[in-house]
Amino acid sequence: MKQILFFIGIAALPFFAGAQDKKTAEKSWNIELGPAVSYPIHYLNMFSTFGLGLDGAVTHPLGNGFSVGARVNYSYFFGRSADPFFTGGGSHYKHSDLYDVLAEGNYRFSNKIILGLNLGLGVLGFNGHSDLSFAQKAYAGYEWDHGEHPLVFAAFYEQTDYHKNAGLRATIRL
Protein backbone atom coordinates (compact mmCIF):
# COMPACT_ATOMS: atom_id res chain seq x y z
CA MET A 1 0.00 0.00 0.00
CA LYS A 2 2.90 2.35 0.76
CA GLN A 3 4.29 1.74 -2.73
CA ILE A 4 0.99 2.72 -4.36
CA LEU A 5 0.79 5.93 -2.31
CA PHE A 6 4.42 6.71 -3.22
CA PHE A 7 3.61 6.18 -6.92
CA ILE A 8 0.59 8.50 -6.73
CA GLY A 9 2.72 11.15 -5.03
CA ILE A 10 5.44 10.93 -7.69
CA ALA A 11 2.87 11.03 -10.49
CA ALA A 12 1.26 14.17 -9.01
CA LEU A 13 4.60 15.98 -8.64
CA PRO A 14 4.50 17.70 -12.08
CA PHE A 15 1.15 19.29 -11.30
CA PHE A 16 2.29 20.68 -7.93
CA ALA A 17 5.61 21.87 -9.36
CA GLY A 18 3.85 23.60 -12.26
CA ALA A 19 1.45 25.37 -9.91
CA GLN A 20 4.30 26.76 -7.80
CA ASP A 21 6.19 28.51 -10.60
CA LYS A 22 4.60 30.57 -13.38
CA LYS A 23 7.67 30.17 -15.63
CA THR A 24 7.33 26.40 -15.37
CA ALA A 25 3.61 26.54 -16.18
CA GLU A 26 4.36 28.35 -19.44
CA LYS A 27 6.67 25.58 -20.71
CA SER A 28 5.21 22.86 -22.86
CA TRP A 29 4.89 19.15 -22.24
CA ASN A 30 7.15 16.78 -24.19
CA ILE A 31 5.76 13.57 -25.69
CA GLU A 32 8.10 10.72 -26.66
CA LEU A 33 7.14 7.50 -28.42
CA GLY A 34 9.18 4.66 -29.91
CA PRO A 35 10.21 0.99 -30.02
CA ALA A 36 12.14 -0.96 -27.37
CA VAL A 37 14.10 -4.23 -27.40
CA SER A 38 14.68 -6.15 -24.14
CA TYR A 39 16.66 -9.13 -22.94
CA PRO A 40 15.19 -10.96 -19.91
CA ILE A 41 17.41 -11.56 -16.89
CA HIS A 42 16.81 -13.65 -13.75
CA TYR A 43 13.33 -15.23 -13.42
CA LEU A 44 11.97 -14.02 -16.77
CA ASN A 45 14.98 -15.54 -18.57
CA MET A 46 13.88 -19.07 -17.60
CA PHE A 47 10.75 -18.75 -19.75
CA SER A 48 11.53 -16.07 -22.37
CA THR A 49 14.17 -15.37 -24.99
CA PHE A 50 13.86 -11.66 -25.85
CA GLY A 51 11.24 -8.94 -25.94
CA LEU A 52 9.94 -6.33 -28.35
CA GLY A 53 7.81 -3.45 -27.26
CA LEU A 54 6.61 0.10 -27.38
CA ASP A 55 7.64 2.87 -24.98
CA GLY A 56 6.08 6.29 -24.43
CA ALA A 57 6.54 9.19 -22.05
CA VAL A 58 4.97 12.55 -21.27
CA THR A 59 7.32 14.90 -19.42
CA HIS A 60 7.31 18.49 -18.27
CA PRO A 61 10.59 20.42 -17.90
CA LEU A 62 11.10 21.98 -14.47
CA GLY A 63 14.18 23.97 -15.43
CA ASN A 64 17.91 23.45 -14.87
CA GLY A 65 17.77 20.22 -16.93
CA PHE A 66 15.22 18.40 -14.76
CA SER A 67 11.99 16.94 -16.17
CA VAL A 68 9.19 14.94 -14.52
CA GLY A 69 6.17 13.14 -15.89
CA ALA A 70 4.86 9.66 -16.64
CA ARG A 71 6.12 6.73 -18.73
CA VAL A 72 4.18 3.71 -20.02
CA ASN A 73 5.51 0.73 -21.89
CA TYR A 74 4.49 -2.65 -23.21
CA SER A 75 6.87 -5.53 -23.96
CA TYR A 76 6.10 -8.86 -25.59
CA PHE A 77 8.60 -11.53 -24.53
CA PHE A 78 8.85 -14.54 -26.82
CA GLY A 79 8.63 -17.98 -25.20
CA ARG A 80 11.62 -20.25 -24.71
CA SER A 81 11.90 -23.87 -25.70
CA ALA A 82 12.36 -26.22 -22.75
CA ASP A 83 14.37 -28.64 -24.91
CA PRO A 84 18.04 -27.62 -24.59
CA PHE A 85 18.98 -29.15 -27.95
CA PHE A 86 16.00 -27.74 -29.92
CA THR A 87 15.21 -31.15 -31.44
CA GLY A 88 11.49 -30.44 -31.50
CA GLY A 89 10.60 -33.06 -28.89
CA GLY A 90 10.54 -30.76 -25.85
CA SER A 91 7.90 -28.45 -24.53
CA HIS A 92 7.67 -24.77 -25.33
CA TYR A 93 6.83 -21.96 -22.91
CA LYS A 94 4.25 -19.42 -23.97
CA HIS A 95 4.98 -15.74 -24.40
CA SER A 96 4.91 -13.18 -21.57
CA ASP A 97 3.46 -9.69 -21.62
CA LEU A 98 4.88 -6.89 -19.50
CA TYR A 99 2.98 -3.64 -18.90
CA ASP A 100 4.41 -0.74 -16.90
CA VAL A 101 2.96 2.55 -15.67
CA LEU A 102 5.76 4.59 -14.15
CA ALA A 103 6.48 8.04 -12.77
CA GLU A 104 9.32 9.61 -14.77
CA GLY A 105 12.16 11.79 -13.56
CA ASN A 106 15.23 12.66 -15.62
CA TYR A 107 18.11 15.08 -15.91
CA ARG A 108 19.52 16.33 -19.23
CA PHE A 109 23.12 17.44 -19.16
CA SER A 110 24.31 20.27 -21.43
CA ASN A 111 26.08 17.71 -23.67
CA LYS A 112 22.66 16.03 -24.33
CA ILE A 113 23.30 12.99 -22.13
CA ILE A 114 20.20 11.99 -20.17
CA LEU A 115 19.99 10.07 -16.88
CA GLY A 116 16.58 8.96 -15.66
CA LEU A 117 14.73 6.96 -13.06
CA ASN A 118 11.20 5.55 -13.23
CA LEU A 119 9.14 4.17 -10.35
CA GLY A 120 5.67 2.68 -10.52
CA LEU A 121 3.64 -0.44 -11.17
CA GLY A 122 4.48 -3.36 -13.42
CA VAL A 123 2.18 -6.18 -14.53
CA LEU A 124 3.63 -9.41 -15.91
CA GLY A 125 1.14 -11.62 -17.76
CA PHE A 126 2.19 -15.26 -18.22
CA ASN A 127 0.11 -18.39 -18.99
CA GLY A 128 -3.18 -16.66 -18.24
CA HIS A 129 -1.99 -15.28 -14.90
CA SER A 130 -0.91 -11.78 -14.00
CA ASP A 131 1.46 -10.49 -11.36
CA LEU A 132 1.25 -6.88 -10.16
CA SER A 133 4.37 -5.55 -8.46
CA PHE A 134 6.46 -2.45 -7.79
CA ALA A 135 8.61 -1.61 -10.84
CA GLN A 136 11.73 0.48 -11.11
CA LYS A 137 13.66 1.40 -14.21
CA ALA A 138 16.94 3.30 -14.54
CA TYR A 139 18.28 4.51 -17.86
CA ALA A 140 21.04 6.48 -19.55
CA GLY A 141 20.65 7.95 -22.99
CA TYR A 142 21.61 10.51 -25.58
CA GLU A 143 19.41 13.07 -27.31
CA TRP A 144 20.20 13.48 -30.99
CA ASP A 145 18.87 16.88 -32.03
CA HIS A 146 18.46 16.62 -35.80
CA GLY A 147 15.63 19.09 -36.30
CA GLU A 148 12.14 19.73 -35.05
CA HIS A 149 11.68 16.22 -33.57
CA PRO A 150 14.81 15.03 -31.71
CA LEU A 151 15.54 11.34 -31.23
CA VAL A 152 16.42 9.90 -27.82
CA PHE A 153 18.42 6.66 -27.66
CA ALA A 154 18.65 5.01 -24.23
CA ALA A 155 19.87 1.84 -22.53
CA PHE A 156 17.76 0.75 -19.56
CA TYR A 157 17.63 -1.74 -16.72
CA GLU A 158 14.21 -2.66 -15.30
CA GLN A 159 13.37 -4.63 -12.18
CA THR A 160 10.25 -5.73 -10.36
CA ASP A 161 9.79 -8.21 -7.52
CA TYR A 162 10.08 -11.23 -9.83
CA HIS A 163 11.71 -10.21 -13.08
CA LYS A 164 14.55 -8.16 -14.46
CA ASN A 165 15.38 -7.11 -18.00
CA ALA A 166 17.84 -4.89 -19.80
CA GLY A 167 17.32 -3.27 -23.15
CA LEU A 168 17.56 -0.45 -25.63
CA ARG A 169 14.93 2.00 -26.75
CA ALA A 170 14.71 4.75 -29.35
CA THR A 171 12.02 7.41 -29.03
CA ILE A 172 11.11 10.43 -31.09
CA ARG A 173 9.93 13.60 -29.38
CA LEU A 174 6.64 14.67 -30.94
Would 70 be classed as within a structural domain?
yes
Q: Residue 128 has what pLDDT?
A: 77
CATH number of the domain that 66 lies in? 2.40.160.20
Task: Please report which residue ranges of 98-168 form alpha helices under DSSP H.
Answer: none
pLDDT tens, 23-65?
434 458 999 999 999 998 877 777 788 899 999 999 999 989 9
With contact defined as beta carbons under 8 Å apart, do 117 and 145 qualify? no
Would 137 be classed as within a structural domain?
yes
Q: Which residues of 142-162 are buried (b: 16+ CB within 10 A; e: fewer)?
A: ebeeeeeeebbebebebbbee
pLDDT tens, 128-148?
788 889 999 999 999 998 888
Identify the three-state secondary structure at position 93.
Answer: coil
Would 153 be classed as within a structural domain?
yes
At 11, give phi and psi (nearest 5°): -65, -30
Would 86 be classed as within a structural domain?
no
Tally the domains of the chain. 1
At 59, give phi and psi (nearest 5°): -130, 155
Q: Which residues of 29-43 are buried (b: 16+ CB within 10 A; e: fewer)?
A: ebebebebebbbeee
Which range of residues forms the domain containing residue 164?
Answer: 2-81+92-173
